[in-house]
Amino acid sequence: MADIGIKEIAAKANVSIATVSYVLNGTRNVRPKTRERVLRVIEEMNYKPNNAAQSLKRKRTNTIGVIAEDVTVFNVPEIIDGINDCADKLDMHILLTNLRLDKRISRNFDQVDSYRSFAANAVSELLSKQVDGIIYIGIHPRDLTGLFDTYGKPIVYAYCYTQNDVSLQYNDEQASYDAMAHLVKQGHKRIAVITGMMDSIPSRLRFNGFYKAIMEYNLPFDPQLMKMGNWEAESGYRLTMELLELNEPPTAILAMNDVMAVGVLRAAAEVGVLIPRELSVIGFDNREFSEYLIPRISTMDLPLHEIGYQAMESLALLIKGEPIPNNPLPNCKLIERDSVAPPLRL
C-alpha cells in the first residue's frame, strides 16, 4: 500500500480530493458513475484512508483506551472479549494498556500509591493518543475513587467501584443467594459458608446473600457454620477440617471462590468424606479448573463478558454525551456439576 493517499486516488479517478472524500464518507451525493469510478480506483490501488489524518481533522479517533490491571488474571480476558465484541459492532478500536499489577504489587491493593503512578501514566499516554474514552478493568472489586484524573475524558470502570464515575459490576448478593437456594432445594439445612477476606466488597455482598437466604428459608443461624477464609485453598482446607469436626457438621459448604473449594475437596478427601454424597460443595467464579476437578464442582459463573460489553456500551453513550440507562446489575449463573447432591437421610 505504501504512500498512496487521497491525492493519488483523486488524480487517477479524475476528480478532486474532495469528491474522493465524499464517496469515502458518504457525506454528500455523488453521481453514481463518478462514485463507482472512484470506488474502483480505491479498490485497485488498495487505498486505505490514513487514520491519523482523519483523527486530526475529526477530533475523534474511534479508539478507546483499555487499562487492564493485569491481563493474566482470570477475569480480565473475558471482560476484554466483551468489550471487543461490542467495540466491533460500534466500529471502535482498542488501545490496550496492561498495568501488570499482579506481578508488580501482587495483592497489596491497599498500597494505592505504589500503583497510582502506573495508572496515571497509562491515562496520560492514552490521553495523548487522543482516545475517545477509557475503560479501566480491575482485578479485584474495590473502590477506586480518586485513583487518577482523566481531565474530562469519559471513563467507565469494570469489575471495580468508583463514586464519581460509571462503574460496572455484577450482582454478588443474588449470586450467593441463588447458590444457597439451590442447596436448600436439594434439601440442605445446615449449610456452612467459607468467606473470602472480609475487607473485600464481594465477600461482604456474598455474605449478605447468604444471610438473606438463611432468613428467608428459616435455616438455623449457627455462627459455628460461618468461617472466615482468605480466598486461598489452604484456608478452605483448614476451615473445612474445623467444620467437619463439629458435633453437628454441615451437609453443604458454600465456598466464596473456587480456589477455596479446592481446599474443601482436599480436606474431604483426607478425612474420607465423600463429595457430594456426604458433603455438598458449591464454589464461586467458575474458574477454568473447576470443571477439571474430581468431582467437577458446581459453581457460580460470573457475567464477565456482559460486564465488558456493557462497559463499552456505556462508554459509547458517554462519548456521545447521552445519558446512561440505569441497567440492573448483571447476574451470575449457577453451573450445576457434580459436587452437589441431596443430604444423606439420617
Partner DNA sequence: CTGTTAGCGCTTTCAT
Partner DNA sequence: ATGAAAGCGCTAACAG
Q: Which residues bind DNA (CB under 7 A)?
A: 3, 5-7, 14-19, 21-22, 24-25, 27-31, 33-35, 47, 49-50, 53-54, 56-59
Q: Look-up: residue for cell 475524558?
A: 153
CB 129 within 8 A of CB 94: no
327: partner contacted, choices a copy of itself, DNA, none (Cβ within 5-8 A by kind): none
27 versus 72: smaller Cβ distance to DNA: 27
Q: Is the dihedral of CA 102, 107, 113, 119 positive or negative?
A: positive
Of residues 130 through 159, those in contact with a copy of itself by CB under 8 A are 130, 151-153
Q: Which helix (H) or strand (E) holds 11?
A: helix 6-13
In whole angstroms, give the CA distance from residue 272 to residue 278: 10
Instruction: For residue 259, give every residue at least 6 positions away whose Cβ sits within 8 Å of its Cβ, in sequence order, or none.
Output: 231, 232, 233, 236, 287
In whole angstroms, give the CA distance from residue 263 to residue 252: 14
Q: Is the dihedral of CA 230, 233, 239, 243 positive or negative?
A: positive
Give the x/- contact pattern for a copy of itself in 243-262, rule: CB under 8 A.
----------------x--x
Name which position in 16, 40, 89, 96 contacts a copy of itself (CB under 8 A). Answer: 96
Q: Does 289 bind a copy of itself (CB under 8 A)?
A: yes
Count the site residues for a copy of itself by CB under 8 A.
Answer: 53
Of residues 186 through 225, those in contact with a copy of itself by CB under 8 A are none
Name which position in 101, 265, 281, 300 contacts a copy of itself (CB under 8 A). Answer: 265
Angle between helix axes 17-25 and 6-13 (nearest 10 degrees) is: 110
> What does the binding site for a copy of itself look like in residue numbers (CB under 8 A)?
1-2, 46, 48-53, 55-56, 61, 63, 66, 70-72, 74, 76-78, 80-81, 84-85, 93-98, 100, 124-125, 127-130, 151-153, 233, 259, 262, 265-266, 269, 287-289, 292-294
